[in-house]
A and B are shown apart, each in its own frame.
Chain A
Amino acid sequence: MSLYYYLVVGITLGLYSLLSLSLNIITGYAGQPTLGHAAFFGIGAYTSALLTTRAGLNFWLALPLSFLTAALVGWVVGLASLRVKEDFLAITTMGINFVVVSFFLYSPYFGGALGLGNIPAPALFGFSFDKTAYFGLVAVVTTAVILFSRFLEKTWMGLAFRALRDDEEAALANGIKVQAFKLWAFVLGTGLAGLTGSLYAHHITFISAGDFGFPLSITVLAMAVFGGLGTVEGALAGALILGLAPEVFRFLADYRMLVYGGLLVVMMLFKPSGLLGRTELKINLFRRLPARRRG
């Protein structure tokens, strides 16, 4: 296998890690399930693609702007959807994913079904990034987000996130404005997903609506849950293991997705808190039914 192959796999793993880490802020730290993370990844990718191809903006400006755009949409969507909790929030965010994808697909401005192409590779001082340099860029951004997550865990905001995840009513009684902090988690997580989208667009150079569909949201959630929600190591381990699995199991040809799926099922049966995690994903849909019967 060529070096090029390894670099592309490396970049892909970096992007998965970034998605998993950003989801970890919303679902791991703040405990808000989301099934629509890919939508914000897509918003970032489209923002960056449009800004560079249509507006002629430079990648280094488009990158932070895709963070801001995704975060802004995350804020608006958060305002509307954080009124619901748990299973209902999961389903609302799933709906948002479908809406955003349709928006990209049916709006001619976004290239419709043809998508957007010719997205330029970033350049710095006249040097155009090849895959080696791009891998370096993704590695730097991933490291920065890892450090940010670690920092966030220790701040008052990180403490507030985990408190409201464990018990909203008790968080309120301790002076935490639960809605405001949920919104912050949403803004940070969706913004970072948008930033990752920009990195993806300039890596792959051609994007279309299908890249940002619901299956990707599920994949990213599976990574964070598999590795262990609420920890940086967990988010990374999940992204690396599940990101690599399809490559490693390539020799199994048609059966590789079977093995991949089996891995997930076994994990959730024997260690529901994930490989390195302390936090379980709490969706109460099934638990609530018998509880209601008891009165």
Chain B
Amino acid sequence: MFLELRGVKKHFGGLKAVDGVDLELAEGQILGLVGPNGAGKTTLFNTICGVYRPTAGEIYFDGRRISGLPPSTVAGLGIGRTFQISRVFKQMTVLENVLVPQGLLFYNQPWRSLWQRPGPAAAEKARRLLQRVGLAGKEGLTAGQLSLAEQRRLEIARALALKPKLLMLDEPCAGLSQEEIRAFVALVKELRQEGLTMVLIEHNMAVAAELCDRIVVLSYGKKIAEGKPEEIQRDPAVIQAYLGEEEEA
């Protein structure tokens, strides 16, 4: 399996944010993570990316065990990500934001990073990626000046500049307009056609259903359902988690 989680737990004191999740994802597929607020989606996401060390369980990616590795190493192995709350480099230009991840080789050898600088090829690649996410012409702006939707697209361009084998998107549609969501859906479809594997946290069921090959539903840190989008939408456990139990008269 390309990405595999075995019994992953992440507890914060007594809070079992993620409580024994198994997951499998094949190369080239899109996996959706859905669930009500507080279900542990972002915690699971951050555990995969190395922000948190799992309390128990193991994570394998592309044939390597990655659980316990720091996030910078996980990024170096080819996992690019975006954040739920925009985390662009606000005081840097849009172009510089997309240059940063291209220095990956040098970040492992700080001494060399002191003498080497991004060349025209890196800038060209950054421009292409910006064009691709619809930010052409904004290269020189400070990233903090962009609108929320633009910042989200910049984060995707930045994650793609890492040349990821796996792209993780944390609620990429939150706060976007219908039109912006359509543009995002089109972009993700394009990326899938190029064979990029993705994990997507998504609240909007319609978007998740349209994009994902498989959906995993979390509730209180546990996996309560898994399957194709149409199966998930009919699953009584899912409906209960979202809408609550029907009260007996």
- CB contact between B91 and one of A162, A170, A174 (< 8 Å): that residue: A162
Q: Which residue, A159, A180, A278, has most C-beta atoms of chain B within 10 A?
A: A159
> A172 touching B71 by the CB < 8 A rule?
yes
Which of chain A's residues have a CB closer than 8 A to the CB of B101? 174-175
Number of interchain pairs (Cβ within 8 Å) = 105
- Which one of B115-123, B222-230, B231-239 contacts A? B115-123
Q: A159-B99, A160-B100, A163-B100 are in contact. Are A172 and B114 (CB under 8 A)?
A: no
Which of chain A's residues have a CB closer than 8 A to the CB of B149? none
Distance to closest chain B CB from A231 (angstroms): 11
Bound-complex Cα distance A174 to B50 (A): 12
B158 contacts the other chain (CB 8 A): yes
**Per-residue A-contact encoding for B135-179, CB less than 8 Å = 1, 0 else:** 000000010000000000000001100100000000000000000
**Per-residue B-contact encoding for A156-184, CB less than 8 Å = 1, 0 else:** 11011011011101111111111011001
Q: Which residue, A155, A162, A230, has most C-beta atoms of chain B within 10 A?
A: A155
Secondary structure at the A interface, as helix, strand, loop or mixed, is helix
A288 contacts the other chain (CB 8 A): no
Bound-complex Cα distance A157 to B116 (A): 8
Q: A156-B118, A157-B114 are in contact. Are A167 and B87 (CB under 8 A)?
A: yes
> B107 touching A172 by the CB < 8 A rule?
no
A154 contacts the other chain (CB 8 A): yes
Which A181-233 residues have a C-beta within 8 angstroms of B? Answer: 181, 184, 230
Bound-complex Cα distance A164 to B48 (A): 21
B113 contacts the other chain (CB 8 A): yes
Nearest A-chain residue to B143, judged by Cβ: A166
A152 contacts the other chain (CB 8 A): yes
Bound-complex Cα distance A181 to B107 (A): 8
Distance to closest chain A CB from B89 (angstroms): 4
> A163 touching B89 by the CB < 8 A rule?
yes
> B91 touching A165 by the CB < 8 A rule?
yes
Residue count of chain B within 8 Å CB distance of chain A: 38
B76 contacts the other chain (CB 8 A): yes
Q: Which residue, A155, A176, A230, has most C-beta atoms of chain B within 10 A?
A: A176
Which of chain A's residues have a CB closer than 8 A to the CB of B96? 159, 162
- CB contact between B72 and one of A155, A165, A178, A278 (< 8 Å): that residue: A178
B13 contacts the other chain (CB 8 A): no
Which B64-99 residues have a C-beta within 8 angstroms of A? Answer: 70-72, 75-76, 80-81, 83, 87-92, 96, 99
Which of chain B's residues have a CB closer than 8 A to the CB of A162? 89, 91-92, 96
A69 contacts the other chain (CB 8 A): no
Which of chain B's residues have a CB closer than 8 A to the CB of A12? none
> B103 touching A279 by the CB < 8 A rule?
no
> A279 touching B91 by the CB < 8 A rule?
yes
> B117 touching A155 by the CB < 8 A rule?
yes
> B75 touching A159 by the CB < 8 A rule?
no
Which of chain B's residues have a CB closer than 8 A to the CB of A175? 72, 75-76, 101, 103-104, 107, 162
Which of chain B's residues have a CB closer than 8 A to the CB of A170? 83, 87-89
> A181 touching B103 by the CB < 8 A rule?
no
Bound-complex Cα distance A152 to B92 (A): 15
- CB contact between B115 and one of A155, A160, A165, A166 (< 8 Å): that residue: A155
Which of chain B's residues have a CB closer than 8 A to the CB of A181? 107, 110
Which A49-106 residues have a C-beta within 8 angstroms of B? Answer: none
Which of chain B's residues have a CB closer than 8 A to the CB of A159? 96, 99-100, 103, 118
> B113 touching A157 by the CB < 8 A rule?
yes
> A169 touching B91 by the CB < 8 A rule?
no
Which of chain A's residues have a CB closer than 8 A to the CB of B242? none
Q: Which residue, A167, A172, A175, has most C-beta atoms of chain B within 10 A?
A: A175
Which of chain B's residues have a CB closer than 8 A to the CB of A160? 100, 103, 107, 113
Distance to closest chain B CB from A174 (angstroms): 4
> B51 touching A174 by the CB < 8 A rule?
no
Which of chain A's residues have a CB closer than 8 A to the CB of B115? 155
Distance to closest chain B CB from A2 (angstroms): 43
Give chain A's interface residues, CB within 8 Å of chain B.
152, 154-157, 159-160, 162-163, 165-167, 169-178, 180-181, 184, 230, 278-279
17 contacts between A and B (CB under 8 A): A156-B103, A156-B118, A157-B106, A160-B103, A162-B91, A163-B92, A169-B51, A170-B88, A173-B72, A173-B83, A174-B75, A176-B100, A177-B107, A177-B110, A181-B107, A230-B91, A278-B91
Closest 8 CB pairs of A and B: A156-B113, A156-B103, A166-B89, A170-B87, A172-B71, A175-B75, A156-B106, A157-B113
